[in-house]
Amino acid sequence: MARYVYDFAQGGRDMAGLLGGKGSNLAEMTRLGLPVPPGFVITTEACRAFLATGGEPEGMLREVSEHLSTVEVAAGRRLGQRDDPLLLSVRSGARFSMPGMMETILDIGLNDDSVLGLAKVSGSERFAWDSYRRLIQMFGSTVMGVDPALFERSIALLKDLRGAPDDVHLDAADLAQLVETYKNIIHLETGDHFPQSPAEQLRRAVLAVFQSWNGERARLYRRREHIPDDLGTAVTVQCMVFGNLGPDSGSGVAFTRDPATGRPGLYGDYLPNAQGEDVVAGIRNTVPLAELERLDPHSYARLCEHMRTLERHYRDLCDIEFTIERGRLWMLQTRVGKRTAEAAFAIAAELADEGLITPDESLARVSGEGLARLMFPRFDAAATGDPLAHGLPASPGAAVGAAVFDSAEAVRRAAVGENVVLVRQETTPDDLPGMIAAQAVLTSRGGKTSHAAVVARGMGKVCVCGAEELSVDIEARCFTAPDGTVVEEGTVISVDGSVGAVYPGPVPLVDSAVMRFLESGAGDAGSARAVDAVARALARADTVRRLEVRANADTPEDAARARRFGAQGIGLCRTEHMFLGERRKLVEEMILAGTDGARDRALAALLPLQREDFSGILEAMDGLPVTIRLLDPPLHEFLPDRTELAVRIAAAEARGDLPAAHDIELLSAVNRMHEENPMLGLRGVRLGLVVPGLVAMQVRAIGEAVAERTRAGGSPRAEIMVPLVGDVRELRIVREEVERVLGEVSAASGVPVSCPVGTMIELPRAALTADRIAAEAEFFSFGTNDLTQTTWGFSRDDVEAEFFSAYLDKGVFPVSPFETLDRDGVGRLVEIAVAEGRATRPDLKIGVCGEHGGDPDSVHFFHAAGLDYVSCSPFRVPVARLEAGRAALEETDVSDSR
């Protein structure tokens, strides 16, 4: 029979799948001997069973009451006992942290009787009524579905009435009155009464936490973070400890290092005389953790000690929640903490220096996505001018957008492509859609551990919080800066999350320190830590990776940049850009040519231009392979637009003029070449087979460029790549042509020129006949963009806007297959082609040149599939290097202990 409940002492950190992150880490802390209030965990399995059937799984309640008895014996009190009630918290906690996205209910066990008992034993009536009103408020909204705003409105009203600046200034009688009000609200709203039975409270709270797994904001958060929907949440049931027992009590959150920069040293916020939920909610302003050293030196010292223990034990940055009850410290939560990209790199490097982790573990703990974030531009310090206001630098980066004052407006504007900054006093989980839509989040209240800060950091979104100098008026949809400037909704502002400043208007951007380092190899003093850490991670990745990294580049400038970024060659040099601009005329002539002579003349004019293009790129990549793809797109892409031409001709006729003969000729060519599905039409290798002289011209240009570079003392390594091959015979025909032309070039130039000839694998038929194709190909390069289109049978341009969001919503794909390779379908074709291609030709060189070459998850797949290289845009080259290194570590199983 399934077992649904575990005591803290029976669990551990390796049980996160079953006990959730929170539950398993509480168990781990218990085992480490840290002061954790006793409790137990109901498993995610129970939640899954509940969500599947809508009823409690068989036996669960019995197990709960057994474990409860154990806790009651240990505490010497019973749940809800009249004269001295044991109170419980019922907490959500899934495998992956979803901060604030699900429900937690505190102070379970209070009722009209036990509140009096609690008042007596604690010696504080105010405390007892405060706890009771908190329970009713949380239970009412979470379990009974009452709009939480109704409770908030009545406490706000009461504070106004009493002239109380915050809830601490309400006294016992006020709070007792509030309890009555709250109970009435519940009755009015639901027709039901707040349950007086502690056992019923517990049972309903547990089920409500299960249910909160499927709450709207939890679902949205999971989609955004790619957390599977079927994991379920565990429920932690734990004895309450009280931070709201007076000034010698309080609650706080803390990090073992600064989660924004990675700097070592305790870091956090503390709120005297409060329960934990007040800290994150930003209801009152917290004090920095350092202040606790003054308020309660004893607890502070113990906290420091426990945090050192945790960091050494987890060998990573930990964050914690703690409560001090009348001078006694309790640990309520820990986990390996979320951090910014900058902090991730800095911490990984420092922990390795401290000997806590190995260099390989250090590499495993950073990510290509993080590196990409550090490569984003920053504001130009010389151009910022005076800030409107300062706040806390909660999540770094530079963002420019129109100020908006609520989530819905952010979503509305972002949907039509506007960049927005979400401005709030503080954010709540309900603001999640707006935070996702915005470029940055700006709040006037809350510390670096407030909801806005934690969630923004998790998303890698720019955030400045606690900008108290700003007065934010949500109703009037504006904020006022200290100098009197009023910023209305829609006004563009710039937010610098790295220093914590807000500027009027758009501030120009410059390269980040990491980017400057990658471009030049030089860092600068201010960001030396992050730059140094990035340099070390990349160096480590380069030592361990097996995949080579090349770049997709079509110009000498891109090739040179890619090389600075560490590219080991060009995996895709497209030639179509070389047919645009001024050269379009020549391409037109080639297409319209009525005679062989006319066509040859056009091709001959294109030849020297192409040769120059190739020569420049080969020079920039001297000594490294450059894979040049023969012309791929349909020819009509080089002709004028059909409708435009028709209109021009019609207009001329309407004026009574004779339309230009050239226009008429063009239109008839355009009509002749019109295709219903150009993606599946006359393109790729098919062009080479039907347009006489085209392949020969391109190959001659490549051959002559190679000869020229060789004569100039270089080592050009051009490779010729044939696109869109579906059958080996297509490739054979082109290959013979290539050999013939290169033979002529060699003879004419006196330089022996030979280039490897290979093909793209971008049609399912090519993948499925790879054994035959490999007989004619010296290399394969997966064109995963087209291969994705042709495998799924949809054209990216047509479908992405049309139905991808519905597919993502309905969970058909967890992520777009154009972003991350679809392993099951497209990946399967890749595996077949690799295996069968190598069976024919064991030394077949295999790479990938679609956009997936720079996507971290896909890079891991290509490594596992045994490819030789990935090729991606120059800016993704460092990302691919890093991820190729991490992929190699996965193979040798350097366990990242998280």
Catalytic residues: 451, 849
Position with the least CB separation from Mg ion = 786
* 783 touches Mg ion by CB under 5 A: yes
Between 254 and 706, whose beta carbon lies closer to ligand ADP? 254
Are 704 and 741 spatial neighbours (Cβ–Cβ below 8 Å)?
no
Instruction: Tell me the closest approach of the beta carbon of residue 440 to ligand ADP, in angstroms.
Output: 23
- HSE of 635 in the Cβ direction (CA atoms, 13 Å)? 22
* DSSP for residue 169: G
- CB of residue 632 vs Mg ion: minimum separation in angstroms? 6
Q: How far is the CB of 158 from ligand ADP (least distance, A)?
A: 23
Work out what residue 783 binds among Mg ion, ligand ADP, none; the CB cut-off runs from 5 to 8 Å by kind. Answer: Mg ion
Query: Which of 239/441 has CB closer to ligand ADP?
Result: 239
The Cα–Cα gap between 29 and 322 comes to: 12
Our CB check for ligand ADP shows the closer of 37 and 837 to be 37
Out of Mg ion, ligand ADP, none, what residue 238 binds, judged by CB under 5 to 8 A for its kind, is ligand ADP
Q: Which does 277 bind (CB under 5 to 8 A by kind): Mg ion, ligand ADP, none?
A: ligand ADP
**Closer of 277 and 576 to ligand ADP (Cβ):** 277
Whole-angstrom CA distances from 566 to 511, 550, 624 are: 18, 8, 12
What single-letter DSSP state applies at residue 762?
A: -
CA distance 3 to 46: 9
**Integer Cα distance of 769 and 764 in angstroms:** 9
**Beta carbons of 767 and 832 less than 8 angstroms apart:** yes
790 binds Mg ion (CB under 5 A): no
The SS3 of residue 549 is strand
Please report how close the Cβ of residue 278 comes to ligand ADP at its closest, in angstroms.
Answer: 8
CB-neighbour burial class of residue 580 (10 A; exposed 0-12, middle 13-18, buried 19+): exposed
At closest approach, how far in Å is the CB of 576 from ligand ADP?
Answer: 52
Minimum Å distance from CB 214 to ligand ADP? Answer: 16
By the 10 Å C-beta count (0-12 exposed, 13-18 middle, 19+ buried), 778 is classed as: middle
Residues that bind ligand ADP in the complex, under the rule CB under 6 A: 37, 89, 91, 99-100, 104, 106, 238-241, 251, 275-277, 321, 323, 332-333
Cβ-based nearer residue to ligand ADP, 278 or 632: 278
- Residue-wise over 95-109: b if at least 16 C-beta within 10 A, else e? bebbbbbbbbbbbbb
Binding of Mg ion by 786 (CB under 5 A): yes
Are 862 and 827 spatial neighbours (Cβ–Cβ below 8 Å)? no
Please pick, from the candidates 333, 340, 407, 784, the single residue that binds Mg ion as defined by CB under 5 A. Answer: 333
Separation CA 276–CA 458 (nearest Å): 21
Q: Is-contact 145 185, C-beta < 8 A?
A: no
CB 396 within 8 A of CB 260: yes
37 binds Mg ion (CB under 5 A): no
Q: Are 684 and 723 in contact (CB under 8 A)?
A: yes
**Measured from the CB atom, is 205 or 872 closer to ligand ADP?**
205
Q: Select 311 or 762, whichever has its Cβ closest to Mg ion.
A: 762
The residue type at 181: T
Which option in ligand ADP, Mg ion, none does residue 323 bind, with CB closer than 5 to 8 A by kind? ligand ADP
Residue 276's binding partner among Mg ion, ligand ADP, none (Cβ under 5 to 8 angstroms by kind) is: ligand ADP
- CB closer to ligand ADP, 37 vs 458: 37
Give the one entry of ligand ADP, Mg ion, none that residue 104 binds, where binding means its C-beta sits below a cut-off of 5 to 8 angstroms depending on kind: ligand ADP
Q: How far is the CB of 22 from Mg ion (least distance, A)?
A: 7
Residue 613 binding result from ligand ADP, Mg ion, none, given CB thresholds of 5 to 8 Å by partner type: none
Phi, psi of 69 (to 5 degrees): -60, -45
CA nearest to 470, candidates 403, 349, 389: 389
Smallest distance from ligand ADP to CB 107, Å = 9
What are the structure tokens assigned to 724, written together? 């869109």
Q: Cβ of residue 780: shortest distance to Mg ion, in angstroms? A: 13
Residues whose CB is less than 8 angstroms from the CB of residue 189 and which lie 6 or more positions away in sequence, other chains included: 144, 146, 147, 150
223-248 CB burial, b ≥16 within 10 A, e <16: beeebeeebbbbbbbbbbbbbbbbee
Structure tokens at 301: 């010292």
Q: How far apart are the first and last CA of the chain?
A: 30
769 counts as binding Mg ion under rule CB under 5 A: no
* Residue 277 vs 511, nearer CB to ligand ADP: 277
Q: Are 98 and 222 in contact (CB under 8 A)?
A: yes
Residue 623 amino acid letter: G
Residues 6+ apart with CB under 8 A from 290: none
117 vs 447, which CB is nearer to Mg ion? 447
CB closer to ligand ADP out of 333 and 443 = 333
**Cβ contact 399:497 at 8 Å:** yes
Shortest Cβ distance from residue 275 to ligand ADP (Å)? 6
- Residue reference for tokens 């797949």: 861
Q: Which stretch binds Mg ion (CB under 5 A): 231-239, 371-379, 637-645, 779-787?
A: 779-787
Question: Could you say which of Mg ion, ligand ADP, none residue 497 binds, taking C-beta under 5 to 8 angstroms by partner kind?
Answer: none
> In the complex, what is the shortest distance from the CB of residue 91 to ligand ADP, in angstroms, rounded to a whole number?
3
> What angle, rounded to 10 degrees, do the helices at 596-620 and 694-711 form?
40
Dist. CA 882–CA 518, nearest whole Å: 13
Angle, alpha carbons 573-575-577 (nearest 5°): 110
| Cross-strand partners of 487 | 479
Q: How far is the CB of 785 from Mg ion (least distance, A)?
A: 6
- What are the structure tokens assigned to 16, written together? 């996160």
Residue the block writes with tokens 């009651």: 72
Which of the choices ligand ADP, Mg ion, none does residue 332 contact, using the CB cut-off of 5 to 8 A by kind? ligand ADP
Given Mg ion, ligand ADP, none, residue 89, with its beta carbon under 5 to 8 Å by kind, binds ligand ADP
Residue nearer to Mg ion on the CB measure, 827 or 850: 850
Pairing of strands 250-257, 264-272: antiparallel
With CB under 5 A as the rule, give the number of residues binding Mg ion. 4
For the beta carbon of residue 310, count every other beta carbon within 10 angstroms.
Answer: 25
Q: In angstroms, rounded to a whole number, what is the distance separating the alpha carbons of residues 94 and 514?
A: 35
Q: Which residue is nearest to ligand ADP (CB)?
A: 276
- What residue 240 binds from Mg ion, ligand ADP, none (CB within 5 to 8 A, per partner kind)? ligand ADP
Please give the residue ranges that form the binding site for Mg ion (CB under 5 A): 333, 762, 783, 786
